[in-house]
């Protein structure tokens, strides 16, 4: 088994690295909440050097295999650390690094909890994925309405 390396992306310049840019687009495109992954990357470039956005990727065998995107919000409307996207095509080592990065990122923002959206509607699997982050508590499902 080869070693995994966690990379905290804090500079917009790294998106000039084609392999990284393409991996981030591919990872974000797996989310039904992100209709335009390329536009999402452009927005991330605007905020990546601010502490409110945390983007972490895992490399293994000179290939990017995992991504965790989170936001530390100090807004009175929704304070806390929210995992906006989690993607892993690597193994358990990659997953563990990404979970640990979410926990460390939340703590760096002064938070002791992380939140995430179970967009695949598999609550038991979602809770298992983040079990290292502590006891899971459901705050209710996310529901979307297509307006007529």
Domain range list for the chain: 4-133
8 A C-beta contact, residue 42 and residue 21:
no
CA of 110: how far to CAs of 17, 47, 96, 105, in Å? 32, 19, 21, 9
pLDDT of residue 1: 60
Reported as a single tens digit per residue, the pLDDT across 80-130 is: 999 999 999 999 999 999 999 999 999 999 999 999 887 777 777 778 888
Residue 145 in this model has a pLDDT that exceeds 80: no
For the four alpha carbons of 111, 40, 17 and 11, in that order, the dihedral sign comes to: negative
Mean pLDDT of 37-62: 93
* Architecture of the structural domain at 4-133: 3-Layer(aba) Sandwich (3.40)
What's the chain's average pLDDT?
A: 90
**Residue 123: Cβ within 10 Å count:** 12
Mean pLDDT of 60-77: 95
8 A C-beta contact, residue 122 and residue 136:
no
Residue 41 in this model has a pLDDT that exceeds 90: yes
pLDDT of residue 92: 93
Mean pLDDT of 43-52: 88
| CB-neighbour burial class of residue 20 (10 A; exposed 0-12, middle 13-18, buried 19+) | middle
Higher-pLDDT residue of 140, 30: 30
pLDDT band at 51; cut points 50, 70, 90: confident
Global pTM reads 0.90
pLDDT of residue 120: 73
pLDDT of residue 143: 72
């Amino acid at each position: 088994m080869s070693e995994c390396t966690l990379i905290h992306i804090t500079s917009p310049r790294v998106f000039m690295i084609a392999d990284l840019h393409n991996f981030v687009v591919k990872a974000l495109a797996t989310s039904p909440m992100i209709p335009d992954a390329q536009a999402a990357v452009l927005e991330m470039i605007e905020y990546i050097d601010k502490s409110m956005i945390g983007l972490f990727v895992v490399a293994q065998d000179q290939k990017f295999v995992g991504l965790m995107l989170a936001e530390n919000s100090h807004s009175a409307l929704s304070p806390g650390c929210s995992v906006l996207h989690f993607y892993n095509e690597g193994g358990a080592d990659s997953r563990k690094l990404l979970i640990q990065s979410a926990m460390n990122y939340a703590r760096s923002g002064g938070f002791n909890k992380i939140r995430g959206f179970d967009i695949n509607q598999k609550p038991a699997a979602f809770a298992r994925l983040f079990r290292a982050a502590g006891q899971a508590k459901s705050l209710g499902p996310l529901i979307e309405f297509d307006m007529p």
